[in-house]
Amino acid sequence: MDEFGEIDRSGSNAEKYTLRQKLFGTDNVQPMWVADMDLATPVYVLDAVRERLIHPVLGYEIMKDSAYEAQCKWIHEHHDWEIKREWLSYSPSVVASIGCAIRAFSDEGDEVIVMSPVYPPFFSMVNENNRHLITHSLTQNSEGGYGFDSELLRTQITPKTKILLLCSPHNPIGRVWRKNELLALGAVCLEYGVVIVSDEVHSDIVYEGHAHIPIASLSDELSECTVTLLGPGKTFNMAGFGISTVCIASKKLRDLYDGQRRLVHFGDGAVLSHVAFEAAYTYGKEWHKALIDHLQTNRDTIAQWSAQNTQIRFIPPQGTYLAWVDCRKLGMGDRELREFFIQKAGLGLSAGLSFGREGSGFMRLNFAVSTSALEIALAKIGTALKERK
C-alpha cells in the first residue's frame, strides 16, 4: 500500500467532508479546506493506540514525563532548540492555548497584534476575549513573497499593547520566517515589553532550503518573553486526538498562564492521545521524512500546473501544506470567486477573505492529499478556467 496514497474518509466523521453542505451548499465538492491531511495517520501511532486498548480500563491518566521528553527530544533534533520538561504543559488545542494566553497576559481592553492574512481564530480569540485587535498587514513584494515591516510595527505599539500573536510558519501564506526577521520582530517586542505568543504548530512541515527557527531559541531574552504553542496535530495528522503543548521558559509567565489554565480546568487529556503523542514523537523520524517528500512532490505539482495556467499565481510555500493561490488576475469579486470554485470547479477551498481583508482575491488549497487526488483537483480548475474563456 502506498503510504501517502488515496484514502477514503467517507465512512468516518471527518469534518472536512461532513460540513460540506453547510459550508459550500453542496456535498458535491472535493474538500480541500480545513488543515488536516487526507493521508493516513502513521501506522506506528495507530499500533500504539491499539496496544493500549488491550487493557480494558480507560480511566483518568496523567501524561507521562516520557511523553513530554519525547517531544523535547524531537524539537531538539528537528529545530535545534533545547527545552526542559518543566516548561511544557498539556493543552487540548492550540486555539484553546491562544485564548488562555490572551487572558493570562492581558486585560480586557488591552491590545493584541496579529499579522494579517492569518489563521482566522487569531482574530476571533482576540475579539471574543474583549481585547482590542491591532492588525499589522503583511505586504507582498513584486515576486509575491510576503513580509512585515518592523518599523511600522513599532509605531503601532501603544502602552496598551500586551501581546503579539506570531504564526510561525505562517498560515495561510506559507512563510517560514528567517532569523533576521524573527530578531527584528523580537527586538521590537523586547523594547516595549510585549509578550510573544508564537503558534508553531506547522513547524515540522518545512521544505528544502528553509528551516524553522523557534523564536524563543534565539536568545535568553526572547526565551523569557515568549510562549510557544506546539503539537503533533499537523505533523502526524492527529488533530482529532485533541492534544498539544504550551512551552514557557519564564517562571513569571508560566505562573500567569497556569493561573488561567486552572480556571478552565484543562486537566491532563485523554488516555489514547497520551499514547499517540508519545509514539508519534518517539518513532516519527523516517515517516516524517517520507511525508515531507510527498508534500514537496505535491507542492511542485501545483507549481508546474500554475506555470501552464498563468491566470492563477502560485508562490510555492516554504512551509505548511497549504497553497495560497492568487486569483486576482481572474478579475472576480470574492463572492464570485468562491462560487466559481464551488460550482464550476467542484472544489471546496477556504476563501482568502476569511483570513483577513488582505486575503481578498486569494483562495487557500490544502494539498495534503494523494498526488492523484491533487491532479484531479488541478484538472478540474483547468477545465473550469477553459470553460470560462
Ligand X SMILES: Cc1ncc(COP(=O)(O)O)c(C=O)c1O
> How is residue 314 annotated by DSSP?
E
Nearer to ligand X among residue 202 and residue 346 (C-beta): 202
Give the residue, chosen from 203, 223, 237, 244, that forms a contact with ligand X under the rule CB under 6 A.
Answer: 244
Residue whose CB is less far from ligand X, 35 or 101: 35
Minimum distance of ligand X from residue 81's CB (angstroms): 18
74-93 residues near ligand X, rule: CB under 6 A = 93
Residue 168 near residue 282 (C-beta atoms within 8 A): no
Among the listed residues 67, 94, 166, 347, the single contact to ligand X using CB under 6 A: 94
- Backbone φ, ψ for residue 243 (5° rounding): -140, 135
The contact pattern for ligand X, residues 152-171, with x = CB under 6 A and - = no contact, is ---------------x---x
SS3 366: strand
319 lines the binding site for ligand X (CB under 6 A): no
Instruction: Please tell me whether residue 95 binds ligand X under the rule CB under 6 A.
Output: yes
Ranked by CB distance to ligand X, the top (closest) residue is: 93
Q: Which of residues 186-205 bind ligand X (CB under 6 A)?
A: 199, 201-202
Tell me, what amino acid is at 211?
Answer: A
Residues 23-42 close enough to bind ligand X by CB under 6 A: 35
Q: Which is nearer to ligand X, 95 or 369 (CB)?
A: 95
Q: How far is the CB of 99 from ligand X (least distance, A)?
A: 10
Distance between CA 382 and CA 364 in Å, rounded? Answer: 16
E strands present in 183-232: 195-199, 226-230
Residue 81, classed as helix, strand or coil, is coil
* Helices and strands, counts by H and E, the chain: 14, 15
- The DSSP annotation for 61-75 comes to -PPPHHHHHHHHHHH
Does 119 interact with ligand X (rule: CB under 6 A)?
yes
Rounded Cα distance between 382 and 188, Å, is: 45
- Which chain residues interact with ligand X by CB under 6 A? 35, 93-95, 119, 167, 171, 199, 201-202, 231, 233, 239, 244
